[in-house]
Structure 1
Amino acid sequence: MDLITPGFGLIFWQAVVFLIVVFILGKFAWKPILKSLKDREDSIDEALNEAKNAKEEMAQLKAENEKLLADARLERDQILKDATAAANKIREEAREEAGKISAKMVEDAKTTIQNEKKAALTEVKNQVAELSLLVAEKLIKKNLEEDKAQKALVDDFVKDLNVN
């Protein structure tokens, strides 16, 4: 039973040795161990803070990227709207110009037709006048071969002159 219940002397020396070991460990080992644990804890806290800062920075960059993307989309939409408006304006101007050109061509064609019509009518009138003169000349030559007929014609002209 001695092994189960140790004597007072054994407990005393074990307590003294334990206190000496605790003192030596406290003096030489615990401070470096605690210092290294504190350093490790500080480095972990610092890493966590850096991770938190990086996360916040990433969130901020993501927000900035989304804002830039939204601005780029708005700018793209505005450019597309402006391009569509410019294309519509150019198309409308081209239609107006084509309308003006076709109206001018129709007007020129009408003018040309009128000029050619007048020229044709003038030519027909001249030909009719020439034919009438030829017919009249032949008739007069035939009718005025006698002196009597010539005197009657001169009298008719004189009467016409007095009347007018």
Structure 2
Amino acid sequence: MDLITPEFGLVFWTAITFLFLLLILRKFAWKPILGAVSDREEGIKNALASAENARKEMENLTADNERILKEARLEREALLKEAREIKEQMIANAETEAQEKANKIIEKAQAAIESEKKSAMAELKNHVAGLSVEIAEKVVRQELSNKDKQLELVESMLGEATLN
């Protein structure tokens, strides 16, 4: 037997052994191997789908976070603007109220000054009138103490007086 030249019997039995081994492998090994490969392929597909879903969910969460942050910023700006407006309104109200109080105080002070002025003028007039009467009284006494001066005064008064 020569190993380099195969004989028909050797080829035949080798082919039958190969076919038999192929059938046994097909029945017992091929299905489990293909099943394992198929399960592995399904697992990989599921993992990829899960990863894609997780990526999409992460994008959605990121977009939601950005939207929420934007809304929070807008709300903060609105609150700050409202607080500034309230502050400005309070300042304006305080200024108006202070101006009104100042005007009232000025009016009261002016009224008090006017009242004091009138009172002082009345007192001054009374004082001047009293002094005038005193001076006139002294002058008239002095004038009336002398007989010649009395006659002269009466004549000058009569000369000044006109009959209507």
Identity of aligned residues (%): 46
State the partner residue of 2:59: 59
Aligned residues: 158
State the partner residue of 2:39: 39
State the partner residue of 2:86: 86
Bigger drift between 73-82 and 37-46 goes to 73-82
Secondary structure of the corresponding residue to residue 4 of structure 1? coil
Quick one: distance in 1 between partners of 2:96 and 2:63? 49
Quick one: distance in 1 between partners of 2:22 and 2:15? 10
Quick one: distance in 1 between partners of 2:5 and 2:104? 132
Quick one: distance in 1 between partners of 2:138 and 2:5? 181
Q: Kindly state the Cα deviation for residue 56 of structure 1 after the two structures are TM-superposed.
A: 1.6
Letter in 1 for 2:77: D
Letter in 1 for 2:18: F
RMSD: 3.0
Please list every run of 5 or more consecutive structure 2 residues that lacks an aligned counterpart in the other structure.
none
Q: Kindly state the Cα deviation for residue 36 of structure 1 after the two structures are TM-superposed.
A: 1.3
Quick one: distance in 1 between partners of 2:90 and 2:138? 70
State the partner residue of 1:12: 12
Q: RCO (CA 8 Å, sep 6+): is it higher in 1 or 2?
A: 2
Superposition misfits of 4+ residues, deviation over 2 angstroms: 1-5, 132-147
State the partner residue of 1:21: 21
How does the TM-score come out when normalised to structure 2?
A: 0.79
How does the TM-score come out when normalised to structure 1?
A: 0.79
Quick one: distance in 2 between partners of 1:34 and 1:68? 50
Quick one: distance in 2 between partners of 1:76 and 1:112? 53
Please list every run of 5 or more consecutive structure 1 residues that lacks an aligned counterpart in the other structure.
none
Quick one: distance in 1 between partners of 2:109 and 2:142? 48
